[in-house]
Chains A and B, each alone.
Chain A
Amino acid sequence: MAVPLGTTGPDSAARVRWRLAEVAAVVDETPRVRSLFLTVPGWPGHRAGQHLDLRLTAEDGYRAQRSYSIASPPEDPRIALAVERIEDGEVSPYLAGEVRVGDKLELRGPIGGYFVWNAAAGGPLLLVAGGSGVAPLMAMLRHRAAARSDVPTTLLYSSRSFEEILFREELDRLAAADPSLRVVHALTRSQPEGWAGQRRRIDAEMLEEAAGLPLPEALAFVCGPTRLVENVAIDLLTLGYKAHRVKTERFGPSGS
């Protein structure tokens, strides 16, 4: 075993250091998901797809730490997180319930250079999301729009019900304004009357229908509950995606 030491970036220590962010706005996106908009003094900037670590400290010193994907694009000065409220959770009920504008939150980052995309990386791009796993993919779509990229892009997004689709109106707007972007929703538990979208869990057939067979340079990003991510990753390889062009981000158990 050999471990050559890498060179350290100029401000790398700063990214490992905990810093205080301020909650600038709170938006209820769906019955279970709340967006937090944070201003972070000294934020070194991030790339679409990266996450940050957030920690909470109680009066008695008890600490709890979680990772959250960043939903805002690099172009946005505020950092947006989409927090899904888990009923018996420890951190998410606080972030999605108790926290209000003006509160301070300790965080560090950005973290992750693997699950990232920028307009220069090209495509075609296939984004596959389950539930709140759409957050880092939303950062990519927002960046893509801000960069005026016309990389052919499909978002295939699985939600339990119409009400639980995150960022639905924004996604509608983005797709309506951009012929090179396609957004396909799958609703797995309940569908509104007259629903024209998909009505089942994402499978190989749906992936092929949504995105077609992959070109050699096709890139796929998959984010959501671990089981969805693993099933989709296998389906994509079967469809002909190259393993190193399929990036995954597992969120853990659905509803944890």
Chain B
Amino acid sequence: MSEGFVSRAFRGRRRNPELEGRLPPGQYATPDFPVLSAGPTPRTPLDRWDFSLMGEVDGARRWSWQEFGALPSETVTRDIHCVTKWSKFDTTWRGVSVDTLLAGVETAADHVVAFCDGGYTTNLPLEDVTDGKAWIAYEYEGEALAPEHGGPARLLVPHLYFWKSAKWVRGLELVSEDRPGFWETLGYHNYGDPFQEQRYQGD
């Protein structure tokens, strides 16, 4: 009935044509850090927090918060892109590279499922979390990662839409058969490359 209707003088979020190339299609740049949560913020005390590698590995591995903090860390600055269309440039994180966690692990798996407090999951090809492409981040802009942004620790996979960077992450399960996660089973793209605009299944 109202196909083709345009709201007079409504501009919506400002587009940033000057950022073409750096800004994926359909995104706008924001200085804010919006919070999107699929559930209540979990509160796991650090003395009960651990991080696990499980599934198809030659032996499950587990780090306490203290052990995790003793692992070598990296500081990285990356752009992040949320499927709800905001992008944020030059965000700085500190955390442990997934390569560090997987060092010495024998596996035949080619997918991982990140699992989290609160029940959230997301799936990724193993090759997208290795070779310096993913971290378990526990600091944001020099401060302990705030609970609303996924603290104590979240997965950081900045080259994919940000729902893949699972908040409140507690481990990675290595699997040989891909297993779509929380949003991937609800119509969102299984891979989620922002530069290919892979927002939804079928994109």
Listed in ascending order, the chain A residues whose CB lies under 8 Å from chain B are: 17-20, 56-60, 62-64, 88, 90, 94, 98, 103-106
Contacts and interface: CB of A to CB of B under 8 A. Distances in A.
A232 B201 CA distance: 42
A66 B32 CA distance: 20
24 contacts: A17-B1, A18-B2, A20-B1, A20-B2, A20-B5, A56-B10, A57-B6, A57-B10, A58-B7, A58-B11, A58-B12, A59-B11, A60-B12, A62-B13, A88-B32, A90-B13, A94-B7, A94-B10, A98-B10, A103-B7, A104-B7, A104-B8, A105-B7, A106-B2
B103 interface: no
A94 B32 CA distance: 20
Contacts of B10: 56-58, 94, 98
A15 to B, nearest CB: 13
B182 to A, nearest CB: 19
Nearest to A55: B7
Contacts of B13: 62, 90
B15 interface: yes
Main DSSP-derived SS at the B contact region: loop
Contacts of A64: 12
Given A56-B7, A105-B7, A106-B7, A90 B12 contact: yes
B38 interface: no
Nearest to B15: A60
Contacts of A18: 1-2
Nearest to A100: B8
Contacts, number: 45
Nearest to A94: B10
B9 A98 contact: yes
Interface bracket on B: 10 to 19
A106 B8 contact: no
A60 B8 CA distance: 12
B53 to A, nearest CB: 34
Given A58-B7, A90-B13, A103-B8, 6 more contacts: A19-B2, A57-B6, A57-B7, A62-B12, A64-B12, A106-B2
B12 to A, nearest CB: 4
Contacts of B1: 17-20
Nearest to B10: A56
Interface in B62-99: none
A94 B12 CA distance: 9
B35 to A, nearest CB: 10
A59 B2 contact: no
Contacts of A58: 6-7, 10-12
Contacts of A19: 1-2
B15 A57 contact: no
A104 B5 contact: yes
A57 B9 contact: no
